Structures are given as structure tokens and as C-alpha cells.
Amino acid sequence: MTQPVPHTARPVRRQRSASRSGVVLRRWKTPKGDLIVSLLTPQGKLRAIARGGLRGKHAGALNLFHHVGLQVYARPGDELAVIQQASLEGALPRLALPERHPYAHLLAELADLLFQEGEADEYGQQAFDLFAGALRGVAHHHDPEWVALVMSYKLLALAGFPQRTRMCARCGAADPQHPDPFGGELLCGRCSHQRALSPSSLDFLRGVVRRSVRENMDHPVPAEDRAPLWLGLERFVGVQVGRVRSWPHLHAG
């Protein structure tokens, strides 16, 4: 952070107890009954363990999508920081609504996959702000699906996975307009047997990274044209980043 550090302070990496603040991306119980949480913080991703789960006043804080403040204890060589205290700093109850929850789940899973622990220092704050804004949008915007599409592509680009949209992913021809069923990018008419994307879908794919979130939100692709965008996103993430389990919920809905 920017606060001056007194010369008597230990270097941060040797500090044992630390305060962290972030949004819960994933949580799971170990067979021993410990609770492990993955959080996105302005300093990057953090995984920490609550031994024996959390009881009493801390128990409800570590739910999915909650913004929490943690007191963690890390010994050199430990794989996971140990959570000593957890407090709720903010929650978005509307994310529990059935028409919104799948999109929040997808974004959290994507962020967990995209951002690694111990890196992201240069763009950590940006990634955190983008993700926190995405959850707020999914909670409150009248079109949570569009928020999720825009923010998924934005998060991918920020993490270093922008889609190529100016050249056919297979032959390099200019101005590709057809979906690539394998890689999720775009193909020219000679390389694809699938129908071309709609003009607004193409405009979105070609402009989403360059345009601001607000500009993207103001020009939504019609809902009936979004299925190929979701499919492309799923394929692209699967090939470039890794497996996301949240997609089937979207296609089922």
C-alpha cells in the first residue's frame, strides 16, 4: 500500500498476521471439516483456511460473493493462510435470486480460474474493481445476462486472454464473421460451415475490450442473438484458460 512503513517494521512477506479484504469466489469443506475459501482482493487472489470451519459470529461471513474482512495468520512455508477472524463488509442479497445467481456463480468461477495467487500485483486493484462491479451489476441491473457477458469478456482481456476478432483463427483471412465451434474465436466463411454472427454480435466482439463497461452496457446485443456469444465464450475459456463448471446451468436456463 502507499502508507509509509516505519523502518522498524518487518518486511511484509515475513509478517505473520495480516488484514485482508476481498470477495469470496469459492468455498469448500475438507474431509476434516476445515473450510477453505478463495477470495479476490485488491492485492490478487488469496486462499485461506478456517480450521474446523468457522463458528459463532464468524460463521455466516464466509459465504459466496460476500465482501469480507479477514485477519489471517501465515507462517513461512505454509500452503494456506489461516483465518483467525472474519467479518462481513458487504453483501448483495439479490445475487441469491434464481435469475441472477447463475451469472454471479459463473463470474466468480471465471475469476477464480483467471487470477492466480501471488501475482496480479500490477492489475490487482483493477481486477478487483472490475469483478466487484460485475457482481453489483448482476445483482441490480435489469439485464443480468448482458452484465455477465460484458464482464466475462472484460475479465478475460484484463487477465491477458483477449479474443482475436480481426483475422480468421484458422487461415488468417480478414474480417471473419462465423463462430469457431472449437476455439471460440472467429472464422471466415470458407473455414466455417456455421451461420455468420449477427452484425450487433460482431460489433460487440470486436469492440468489447476497447470500449468502456458503460459503453458496452449501453449497446446490448438482443437477447435472441446471445446464444452464439455464450458458446464462443465457453469454448474460448475452455481452450485458453481451463474448465468452468457453471456453463451448463446457463444453457439449461
Other CB atoms closer than 10 Å to residue 156's CB: what's the count?
21
Which of 47, 141, 170, 219 is the binder for Zn ion (CB under 5 A)?
170
Q: CA-CA distance, 184 to 180, in Å (whole number)?
A: 5
Report the residue number, 137 or 183, with the smaller CB distance to Zn ion.
183
Is there binding between residue 168 and Zn ion (CB under 5 A)?
yes
Is there binding between residue 188 and Zn ion (CB under 5 A)?
yes
Which of 12, 173, 223, 227 is the binder for Zn ion (CB under 5 A)?
173
Q: CA-CA distance, 235 to 181, in Å (whole number)?
A: 7
Report the residue number, 191 or 239, with the smaller CB distance to Zn ion.
191
Residue partners of 184: CB distance under 8 A and separation at least 6:
163, 231, 232, 233, 234, 235, 236, 237, 238, 239, 240
Is there binding between residue 171 and Zn ion (CB under 5 A)?
yes
Is there binding between residue 213 and Zn ion (CB under 5 A)?
no
Report the residue number, 177 or 216, with the smaller CB distance to Zn ion.
177
Q: Which stretch binds Zn ion (CB under 5 A): 90-98, 100-108, 169-177, 197-205?
A: 169-177
Which of 191, 209, 213, 250 is the binder for Zn ion (CB under 5 A)?
191
Is there binding between residue 24 and Zn ion (CB under 5 A)?
no
With CB under 5 A as the rule, give the number of residues binding Zn ion: 6
CB-CB contact of 134 with 93 (8 Å): no
User: What are the angstrom distances between the C-alpha of 131 and each of 81, 136, 160, 182?
Assistant: 23, 9, 15, 27
**First-to-final CA distance of the chain:** 43
Is there binding between residue 223 and Zn ion (CB under 5 A)?
no
User: What are the angstrom distances between the C-alpha of 139 and each of 99, 100, 115, 133?
Assistant: 10, 7, 22, 10
Q: Output the smallest distance, CB 173 to Zn ion, in A.
A: 5
Q: Output the smallest distance, CB 184 to Zn ion, in A.
A: 15
Q: Which stretch binds Zn ion (CB under 5 A): 5-13, 85-93, 155-163, 172-180?
A: 172-180
Report the residue number, 44 or 232, with the smaller CB distance to Zn ion.
232
Q: CA-CA distance, 74 to 17, in Å (whole number)?
A: 6
Site of interaction with Zn ion (CB under 5 A): 168, 170-171, 173, 188, 191
